[in-house]
Amino acid sequence: MANSYQIINEKTWEREMHCMVFRNSVEPAFCVTFEADITKFRRFVKEQGISFTLAMVYAVCKCANEIEAFRYRFVDGEIVLFDKIDTAFTYLNKDTGLFKVVNVPMEDGVKEYCALASKTADEQKEYFTGPLGNDVFQCSPMPWVTYTHISHTNSGKKDNATPLFDWGKYYEKDGKIMIPISVQAHHSFVDGLHIGQFVEKL
């Protein structure tokens, strides 16, 4: 069941002009990659005995949910603000080397989310269960490479405003465990300011 949303009156919306400028761009999305210190997070995940990858999906989506800019979407040509955004992530089938895309509702706690996400991923047989809804954050871990930049495929749909979150292989640096994380967002709704807010929350 889709999450609820409110329709925004563009004429009285303070972001109307910014939205219009970027909505008409050839490439309306932009991508930022940054390093994050996950030393304490990795220790916590190990102590709890939960999946690092699924815990990362939870942490990223929880922080993004707390920032209004990440919950705006285009629905049937109108601008809407969702109350809550759920999760979608890639999950590798080790037998075939192919990934499947798994949809999981956002939960209040990391342990509850990881349990539900693990069960859902294990039980899902199809690689794709259908087109992703507007009300998800898409996460795609790439734990084989410590990258400094990443780009994404482009659907060609300018009104596709679903943020994409990626992270690479973590590594040790100056006694800390660091990881590269990327955020791609639609500039009609998200600015550098909001990326900064996301980084701070994370």
* CATH classification of the domain holding 109: 3.30.559.10
DSSP 62-118: HHHHTSGGGGEEEETTEEEEES--EEEEEEEETTTTEEEEEEE---SSHHHHHHHHH
> What domain range includes position 143?
5-201
Number of domain units in the chain: 1
Terminal C-alpha separation, the chain: 28
Higher pLDDT among residues 130 and 84, named by residue? 84
Q: What is Dmax (Cα atoms) for the chain? A: 53
- Per-residue pLDDT of 104-133, as tens digits, reads 999 999 999 999 999 999 999 999 998 888
Residue 123's H or E segment, with its range, is helix 110-123
**Residue 40, CA atoms < 13 Å, CB-side half-sphere:** 1
Does position 3 have pLDDT exceeding 90, yes or no? yes
| Triad 74, 141, 190: Cα angle to 5° | 30
pLDDT digits (tens, 9 = 90+) for 173-184: 999 999 999 999
How high is the pLDDT of residue 131? Answer: 87
Say if residue 57's pLDDT is above 80: yes
Burial of 178 (0-12, 13-18, 19+ CB in 10 A): middle
pLDDT at residue 155 in the model = 81
Q: What is the mean pLDDT of residues 32-43?
A: 97
- Using one digit for the tens of pLDDT, what is the confidence trace for 134-182? 999 999 999 999 999 999 888 888 899 999 999 999 999 999 999 999 9
pTM to 2 decimal places? 0.95
Paired tokens of 112: 């509850």
Q: Give me 141's structure tokens.
A: 């871990």
